[in-house]
Every structure is written in structure tokens, then in C-alpha cells.
């Protein structure tokens, strides 16, 4: 099942080449989800609250962050978006947590995102695939990368 590539489509991928605060990066990453009413503004606020309360827990290493919050905090439809930052963003303004890729996960319930998350995890455990992903510079190349990886 190509669940991941159905969620992370061109419409939900952005690339930015400017310095951002971690809050602005998350807001920008959420913008397509908000525009399409997949999430509500309170979901973005919930991610900020979680980070401030629990620290940079969504920094999964390899300069990748997967911000998320609970489904009841404003998720209307299971969805994902990706923001590729060409200049590192420091999560919680901490130089020990530079982030190049933000992948927002919004799940409408406790289970509907799990297949996509499993596919994403398979990609992210591979240093070669992460490096390939980080080398991509266009929205279409990133979307094609996820399609190609799911077809393997």
C-alpha cells in the first residue's frame, strides 16, 4: 500500500532557503495542512506546547523532526506534510538540535497513521536514503522519492 506517498504529495511539500525560528518552521510546515483544513490552528499550538513541556522529543536524529500532537487537539483528517530547510533550524533554539527536515504527522485517530509511519520509518533508518532525501532540491523530486521507495 502506498499510503505514505498518498499523504506526502507535491501539495504538502515545501522547500525553504532562509533562516527560520523553530516555531516559524513548524508553522510553515503546517501551512498546507491548515489550508486544506486537515488540521486546525490549535493542533499547531498543541505541538508548541508539547515541545515546551517535554523538550525536543520529536527530534528523531539525523537532523529530522517529526512534530505531532494528540488527534483530539485539532486533527480533522489524517495527513502529513514535509518542510525541507536548506538552512538548519534549531529546535527549541538549541544548537544541539539542528533540523533540516520537518515532517508533520496529524492522525485523526490512534491508528490511521501507522502504515504511513511504518513506511517512513523504513526510509529514515537508512542513512543512505536519508542522505538521498536531503540531497533533493525540488518538490517533485521529493514526492517522487517517496513514491519510488514505497514501490520497492
CATH of residue 138's domain is 3.40.930.10
Domain span at residue 124 reads: 3-151
CA-based nearest residue to 81, from 1, 149, 15 = 15
Q: How confident is the model at residue 104, as a pLDDT? A: 97
Measured CA to CA, the distance from residue 42 to residue 114 in angstroms comes to: 22
CA angle 119, 125, 128 (to 5 degrees): 105
pLDDT band at 1 (very low <50, low <70, confident <90, very high): low
Query: Could you read off the pLDDT of 100-142 as tens digits, one per residue?
Result: 999 999 999 877 777 888 999 999 999 999 999 999 999 999 9
Its pTM stands at 0.95
Measured CA to CA, the distance from residue 148 to residue 152 in angstroms comes to: 7
Structural domains in the chain (count): 1
Query: Could you read off the pLDDT of 55-98 as tens digits, one per residue?
Result: 999 999 999 999 999 999 999 999 999 999 999 999 999 999 99
Amino acid at each position: 500500500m502506498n499510503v505514505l506517498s498518498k499523504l506526502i504529495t507535491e501539495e504538502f511539500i515545501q522547500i525553504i532557503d532562509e533562516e527560520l525560528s523553530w516555531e516559524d518552521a513548524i508553522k510553515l510546515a503546517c501551512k498546507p495542512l491548515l489550508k486544506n483544513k486537515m488540521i486546525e490552528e490549535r493542533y499547531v499550538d498543541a505541538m508548541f506546547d508539547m515541545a515546551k513541556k517535554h523538550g525536543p522529543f520529536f527530534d528523531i536524529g539525523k537532523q529530522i523532526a517529526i512534530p505531532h500532537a494528540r488527534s483530539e487537539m485539532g486533527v480533522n483528517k489524517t495527513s502529513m506534510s514535509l518542510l525541507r530547510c536548506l538552512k538548519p533550524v534549531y529546535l527549541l533554539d538549541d544548537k544541539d538540535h539542528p533540523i533540516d527536515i520537518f515532517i508533520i504527522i496529524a492522525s485523526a485517530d490512534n491508528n490511521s497513521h501507522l502504515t504511513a509511519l511504518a513506511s517512513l520509518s523504513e526510509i529514515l533508518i537508512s542513512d543512505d536514503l536519508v542522505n538521498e532525501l536531503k540531497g533533493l532540491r525540488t518538490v517533485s523530486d521529493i514526492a517522487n522519492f517517496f513514491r519510488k521507495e514505497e514501490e520497492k
